[in-house]
Amino acid sequence: AVSKKDSYLVTLLPGDGIGPEITEATKKVLAVICEKSGFEIELKEALIGGAAIDAKNDPFPQESLDQCLASDSVLLACIGGYKWDKNPRELRPETGLLKMRKEMGLFANLRPAKVLSQLIDASTLKREVVEGVDVMVVRELTGDVYFGTPKGIDVIDGQRVGYNNMIYSESEIDRIARVAGDVASKRKGQLCSVDKANVLDVSQLWRDVVTDVITKDFPEVELSHMYVDNAAMQLIRWPKQFDTIVCGNIFGDILSDEASMLVGSLGMLPSASIGESGPGVFEPCHGSAPDIAGEDKANPLAMILSAAMMLKYDLDRPEEAAIIERAVEAVLDEKIRTPDIKQEGDGCKLVGCTEMGQAVAD
Ligand code: ATP
Ligand code: MG
């Protein structure tokens, strides 16, 4: 993150599939916010994913990494597609994304799930359950059972045995707890730490370190703890009880996908990945939607809201972020809908990606 200034350099990664379309829509919105608020964002494009494999035979070339690291922030659309699905692992788009997260030290993933009143009927849950839901999941992104060693599949006593290790060091827990404390303090000030401390030793350490950090350094934040199985149940039973949730990589993977379904459409969900210092990466939660790519049907709002998160968390421009969020709500109030958020007989106007971007910009 940087302090507020008059001119920023942002690396823009349009990626694959619907990426270029939603990027165009987002550029329009950023251009308007810059013009009206009197600051500049230079958007410099770079290659990642399938586009980078085709051009450079590398899903995240060194020059893209160098450019990202030299920027104030990074805005990413989405990557992947059928074309590269059968490539060897080192030539898959997803490998580029993992490399970017690792090389940029992005250990915290922020996924807000905010139910907008205009889209309540898009949720599969009852109105009274989802109305007013505003949950932020802070997921640790570079540790846990995904990266712990030893790992593998061995033959033991004549049969195959597979194993991975859930490992967290004190310093890894400490730094994610600080991000979560900071995020919670800027929201309603309620932080729920999710673990499985009744069974797992690593979770007991998690609980101890989170408690230490929050009670010592974030006294204004109200901390509670919940076991992950209960949290999964409570998120569906009564999601309004949550403000900010912090958890390890695998629990966060599952809970953030679960929380996203409260909102209704993937096309509405932004995310932020941030590190200790330096630029973060802001991207929609959805993939490249190859089934609708190039048809001007994609919902650009997840990427537009990701740009708002970038303004808030990386560029020190919270007012401008709020303006974008209000513009999105205003467009929904005007009953403008892309196909993914259109309900049969809702009396709303069906538009494409281009028109939706223009409506938010207007
Ligand atoms: P990934 O593995 O990269 O997360 P995925 O396989 O989970 O990708 P997505 O690409 O996210 O899948 O698409 C899942 C479904 O949601 C598809 O039918 C797609 O068309 C739809 N979808 C995803 N993003 C959008 C969007 N922005 N607007 C409209 N529909 C979308
Ligand atoms: Mg997916």
* pLDDT one-digit tens code per residue, 265-275: 889 999 999 99
- For position 323, what pLDDT does the model report? 98
CA of 295 to the centre of ligand 2 (A): 20
Q: What are phi and psi of 349, to 5 degrees?
A: -95, 125
Query: Coil, helix or strand for 298?
Result: coil
Which pLDDT does position 234 carry in this prediction? Answer: 98
Our answer on whether the CB atom of 289 is closer than 6 Å to any ligand 1 atom is yes
Residue 344: per-residue pLDDT? 87
Check if the beta carbon of residue 137 is closer than 8 Å to that of residue 232: no
Which atom, in ligand 1's list, is nearest to the CA of 284?
27
- CB under 8 Å to 293, separation ≥6 — which residues? 16, 17, 18, 21, 81
Positions in the chain whose pLDDT score sits under 70: none
- What phi, psi does 188 have (nearest 5°)? -85, 0
**Contacts for 208 with CB less than 8 Å, ≥ 6 apart:** none
Determine whether the shortest distance from the Cβ of 291 to ligand 1 is under 6 A.
yes
Tell me what pLDDT residue 20 has.
97
In the chain, % helix, strand, coil (3-state, to 5) comes to 45, 20, 30
The response to whether residue 288 sits with its C-beta less than 6 Å from ligand 1 reads yes
- Phi and psi at residue 283, to the nearest 5°: -155, 150
Strands 349-350 and 281-284, sheet pairing: unpaired
Give the residue from 92, 191, 205, 88 showing the smallest Cα distance to 144.
205
Quote the pLDDT of residue 219: 98
pLDDT for 98 equals: 87
d(CA 180, CA 190): 10
Q: How far is CA 116 from the centre of its chain?
A: 17
Give residue 257's pLDDT.
86
- Residue 24 CA, ligand 1 centroid: distance in Å: 18
Beta strands at 73-78 and 281-284: parallel, antiparallel or unpaired: parallel
Ligand 1 contact, 299 CB (< 6 A): yes
**Helices (H) then strands (E): counts for the chain:** 12, 14
Ligand 2 centroid from CA 82, angstroms:
14
User: Nearest ligand, CA of residue 266?
Assistant: 1
Per the listing, tokens 């920023």 go with 8
C-alpha 255/C-alpha 194 separation (Å) is 10
What pLDDT shows up at residue 37? 95
Report the catalytic residues: 146, 196, 229, 253, 257
| Predicted-complex ipTM score | 0.95
